[in-house]
């Protein structure tokens, strides 16, 4: 299975990758639905919503400030680095991520489509001004804009539309891909998870990397059971693999 997947990736001219929280797990960033995914017994669906923020902006910010601190201490892992090598070896490549942690960019990925925003961006709910704020911890929660308005994390919450253009770019990337590599996502959040059947409908081969079975595993050509930090370097070797025989 791994050899077949390695061959598909090697031969593909156009590759798309879809990542979720699992690729950052080995960097010590907790996933949403796995063990440790809860924060003070709250599930992400209860906190990552405009209603939760309206009701208790301080609580929501305590969760984001805690995550920002965890992410600031994290380093990209061998899985992130393997995807940088893949990007540099393909004429056509896009990395579509549901993650907001910025670890792909810190590893060196450039062709990144962020479907769910960026935890290091803050946006004013009053004047709309958006800026990068990488202070950890934040001096006050909830943080305020110079105009006095409340700042919110620059991420996409449940019930909110994806950033303009992100979905279109992701759809286009998947339509063109000969191979879609799906790494570290439970594939339950839409529209992101819809990229997987879309890729198949457009004739792409889909390879999944996940230590567990997911909502999509049964329908995929190739589902590799294991952690991204181990499987991806095996799929995308660092030195150019010597053409055997």
Residues with active-site annotation: 116
**CB of residue 78 to ligand BV8, shortest distance in Å:** 10
**CB of residue 130 to Zn ion, shortest distance in Å:** 10
Of 22 and 76, the one with the shorter C-beta distance to ligand BV8 is 22
Cβ–Cβ < 8 Å for 182, 18:
yes
Burial-class residue 35 by CB neighbours within 10 Å (0-12, 13-18, 19+). Answer: exposed
From the list Zn ion, ligand BV8, none, partner contacted by residue 77 (C-beta under 5 to 8 A by kind): none
CA distance 151 to 132: 12
From the list ligand BV8, Zn ion, none, partner contacted by residue 20 (C-beta under 5 to 8 A by kind): ligand BV8
**CB of residue 230 to ligand BV8, shortest distance in Å:** 8
CA distance 61 to 116: 17
Site for Zn ion contains 122 (CB under 5 A): no
Of 176 and 233, the one with the shorter C-beta distance to ligand BV8 is 233
Closest residue to ligand BV8: CB criterion:
22
Q: Give residues 137-176 in contact with Zn ion (rule: CB under 5 A).
A: 145, 147, 149
Interface with ligand BV8 (CB under 6 A): 20-23, 25-26, 31-34, 37, 44-45, 48, 98-100, 116, 155-161, 184-186, 188-190, 209-212, 214, 227-228
Q: Give the Cα-Cα-Cα angle 87, 92, 95 (nearest 5 degrees).
A: 50
Nearest to 28 by CA among 63, 59, 69, 87: 69
Nearest to 183 by CA among 77, 27, 32, 79: 79
Q: What 3-state class would DSSP assign to 221?
A: coil
With the C-alpha atoms ordered 100, 227, 225, 41, is the resulting torsion angle positive or negative? negative
**CB of residue 1 to ligand BV8, shortest distance in Å:** 16
Of 28 and 147, the one with the shorter C-beta distance to ligand BV8 is 28
């Amino acid at each position: 299975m791994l050899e077949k997947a390695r061959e598909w990736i090697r031969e593909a001219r156009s590759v798309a990758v879809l990542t979720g929280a699992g690729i950052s797990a080995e960097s010590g960033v907790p996933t949403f639905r796995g063990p440790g995914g809860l924060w003070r017994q709250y599930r992400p669906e209860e906190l990552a919503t405009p209603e939760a923020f309206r009701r208790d902006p301080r609580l929501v910010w305590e969760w984001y400030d805690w995550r920002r601190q965890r992410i600031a201490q994290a380093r990209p892992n061998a899985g992130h680095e393997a995807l940088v090598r893949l990007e540099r070896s393909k004429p056509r490549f896009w990395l579509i991520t549901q993650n907001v942690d910025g670890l792909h960019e810190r590893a060196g990925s450039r062709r990144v489509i962020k479907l769910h925003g960026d935890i290091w961006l803050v946006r004013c709910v009053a004047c709309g001004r958006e800026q990068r704020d990488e202070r950890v911890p934040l001096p006050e929660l909830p943080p305020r804009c110079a105009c006095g308005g409340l700042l919110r994390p620059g991420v996409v919450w449940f019930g909110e539309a994806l950033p303009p253009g992100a979905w279109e770019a992701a759809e286009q990337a998947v339509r063109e891909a000969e191979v879609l590599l799906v790494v570290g996502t439970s594939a339950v959040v839409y529209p992101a998870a819809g990229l997987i059947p879309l890729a198949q409908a457009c004739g792409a081969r889909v390879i999944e990397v996940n230590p567990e079975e997911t909502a999509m595993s049964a329908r995929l050509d190739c589902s590799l059971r294991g952690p991204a930090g181990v499987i991806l370097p095996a799929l995308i070797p660092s030195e150019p693999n010597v053409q055997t025989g």
